[in-house]
Structure 1
Amino acid sequence: MPEFAFHHGGVSVPDLDAAIAWYGDVLGFELERRFTIDAANANAAFVRKGDLRFELFEVPGAASLPDDRRYPPRDLQTHGNKHVAFRIADLDAFLAEVEAKSADVAMVVREKFGAGCFLRDCAGNLIEFVVED
Structure 2
Amino acid sequence: MAEFTFHHGGVSVPSLDEAIDWYGRVLGFEVEKRFYIAAAKSHTAMLRKGPLRFEIFEVEGAAALPEDRRSPPADLRTHGNKHVAFRVEDLELFLAEMEAKQVDIAFVVRESFGKGCFIRDCAGNLIEFVEEPDA
Q: Which residue of 2 aligns with 1:4?
A: 4
1:128 and 1:21 mapped to 2: Cα distance? 19
Q: Which residue of 1 aligns with 2:55?
A: 55
Q: Which residue of 1 aligns with 2:21?
A: 21
- Unaligned 5+ segments in structure 1 are none
| Aligned residue pairs, count | 133
Aligned sequence identity (%): 71
Q: TM-score, normalized by length of structure 2?
A: 0.97
1:109 and 1:94 mapped to 2: Cα distance? 13
Displacement of 1:99 after TM fit? 1.1
Cα displacement string for residues 39-77 of structure 1 (whole angstroms, at most 9, x for unaligned residues): 111100011000101100001210010000000000000
Q: Which residue of 1 aligns with 2:130?
A: 130
> Is residue 89 of structure 1 aligned with residue 92 of structure 2?
no
2:106 and 2:53 mapped to 1: Cα distance? 22
Q: Which residue of 1 aligns with 2:108?
A: 108
Moved >2 Å (runs of 4+):
none
2:62 and 2:41 mapped to 1: Cα distance? 10
The alignment partner of 1:45 has SS state of: strand
1:127 and 1:10 mapped to 2: Cα distance? 11
Q: Which residue of 2 aligns with 1:119?
A: 119
CA RMSD of aligned residues (A): 0.5
1:82 and 1:40 mapped to 2: Cα distance? 21
Cα displacement string for residues 93-126 of structure 1 (whole angstroms, at most 9, x for unaligned residues): 0011111111110000001100010000011110
Q: Which residue of 2 aligns with 1:76?
A: 76
> Is residue 33 of structure 1 aligned with residue 33 of structure 2?
yes
Displacement of 1:29 after TM fit? 0.4
Q: Which residue of 2 aligns with 1:98?
A: 98
Q: TM-score, normalized by length of structure 1?
A: 0.99
2:61 and 2:19 mapped to 1: Cα distance? 17
